[in-house]
Chains A and B, each alone.
Chain A
Amino acid sequence: MVDFAGWEMPLHYGSQIEEHHSVRNEAGMFDVSHMTVIDIAGERAGQFLCRLVANNVGKLVETGKALYGLLLNDAGGVVDDLIVYRREKGYRCVVNAGSREKVLVWFAEHNDEGVELEERDLAMVAVQGPRALSIYEQVSGLTGLAELAPFSARDMQETMVARTGYTGEDGVEIILPGEEARSLWHDLAAAGVAPAGLAARDTLRLEAGLNLYGQDMDDATSPLVSNLGWTIDWEPREFIGRKVLETARESGIDEKLTGLIMEGKGILRHGQLVITEKGNGVVTSGLFSPTLGYSIALARIPRTAKGACEVEIRNKRQPVKIVRPPFVRHGQRVFKTPS
């Protein structure tokens, strides 16, 4: 058990590698109740979120639609990443537990629209893997979840079932009252879903090429050098941080966040020095990929670097290859190895 933003959470329930494989091959579940859920209501809730989120919340027209986006600060750094869901009335934001206070203050300070902000005390269970949907349907009695489009939710008020996740596999994230989460967890376990901890969550998300807040992006780093340009909607509209990013784009971006693989022995880890022909960089997240059987990483390196480079591990330089993430999707390796 480890302390995670004030929550006592299991790193693993047994072997983190077995938990990882369960999610890739069958179904696994994560207790992600530490995530912060904030409901936003009021006539101008949409305007509020359009101004604070760099992705375009205005695109969420239908109830249940969701998008991934960033809250930017005035300097263009990332306050947090979040998922915004459209609800029948208003919106629901799911933000990182580690950023909870910061985001609550950020929202309150920027509430020019006078929206109602309500932090909800709800549990959240992520069921992920190729069999996740069918097992969850069997356990919950719900049907037709396969027709739910990715990044949309079935909103049943007290319980919300979203086809989202942080693993690169199909699955659902269920937001529900805490007292119901316990029985759901037990029913899922009885149906063969493997409990998985924070450690497997980290290996799965990195294989899927998904950033972790605080490691691959933060308050002081532009999303344009964190492989997050795709989350910014440049349609003519105002959002916090826009001007700084525009200026940065015009003057040229000289770094990128991309993938590294190391097929030799050893493990890439956060903070290691990356040496390329175009200059140095740094590993932002690195670990052993259980699916691939060798180490993978996200690294911030010079934009024009490609092909082979080196990483310094315990004062020795080891050969690595630059690849485009994601590394693994739906159980399969998906990147191309440079020739």
Chain B
Amino acid sequence: MSEIPAELKYASSHEWARLEEDGTVTVGISDHAQEALGDVVYVEQPELGQTVDAQAEAGVVESVKAASDIYAPISGTVISVNEALEDAPEMVNQDPYGDGWFFRIEADNLGELEDLLDSEGYAEVVAADQH
């Protein structure tokens, strides 16, 4: 079973979003997603300052198996990207909810977080994915 932390919000496209104390939102991909992708070898990040729309493509993750788009779970401006992934993309596999984060967004409207799934809702998506 993959790990689904209760304190995060999830998109059905397998990204997670975490509201930080400073009001920004950190984005990554779920444990289930990294497991399904297999070894991650390259992450194409959004540009700093780029505006992203909820559910729109914001980056690409390439694993040994396939290339997959990363969708922004919430609309806003990219204020930080995890540069460590450039040299160590395997962190996405090793620590998907920690050092393997992708980018941070200053949200246009934090209310959009409510449109995302909670851990229980996401667990159902994962369960459906496995059939």
| Contact, CB under 8 Å: B39 / A266 | no
Task: Across the interface, name the chain A residue whose C-beta is closest to B39.
Answer: A17
Residues of B45-99 whose CB lies within 8 A of A: 60, 62, 64-67, 86
> What mask results when residues 240 to 270 of chain A are scored 1 for a CB within 8 Å of chain B, else 0?
0000000000000000000000000111010
Q: Which residues in B have their C-beta under 8 angstroms from that of A336?
A: none
| Contact, CB under 8 Å: B62 / A267 | yes
| Contact, CB under 8 Å: B64 / A17 | yes
Task: Across the interface, name the chain A residue whose C-beta is closest to B41.
Answer: A288
**How close is A282's CB to chain B, nearest CB, in angstroms?**
17
Residues of chain A at interface, number, CB under 8 A: 15
Query: Per a CB cutoff under 8 Å, which of B42, B64, B67 touches A199?
Result: B64
| Contact, CB under 8 Å: A287 / B44 | no
Chain A interface main SS type: loop
Distance between Cα atoms of A267 and B89 in the complex (Å): 13
Is A203 among interface residues, defined by CB-CB distance under 8 A?
yes
Q: Which residues in A have their C-beta under 8 angstroms from that of B60?
A: 314
| Contact, CB under 8 Å: A269 / B42 | no
Distance between Cα atoms of A269 and B66 in the complex (Å): 8
Q: Which residues in A have their C-beta under 8 angstroms from that of B62?
A: 266-267, 288
Is A16 among interface residues, defined by CB-CB distance under 8 A?
yes
Q: Which residues in B have their C-beta under 8 angstroms from that of A266?
A: 42, 44, 62
Chain B interface (Cβ < 8 Å from any Cβ of A): 38-39, 41-42, 44, 60, 62, 64-67, 86
10 additional contacts, CB 8 Å, given A17-B39, A288-B62? Answer: A12-B38, A15-B39, A199-B65, A203-B64, A265-B86, A267-B42, A267-B62, A288-B42, A314-B60, A314-B67
12 contacts between A and B (CB under 8 A): A15-B38, A17-B39, A199-B64, A199-B65, A203-B64, A265-B44, A265-B86, A266-B44, A267-B62, A288-B42, A290-B64, A314-B67
Q: Which 10 A-B pairs have the closest CB atoms?
A: A288-B41, A267-B62, A17-B39, A265-B42, A288-B64, A16-B64, A15-B39, A266-B42, A16-B39, A16-B38
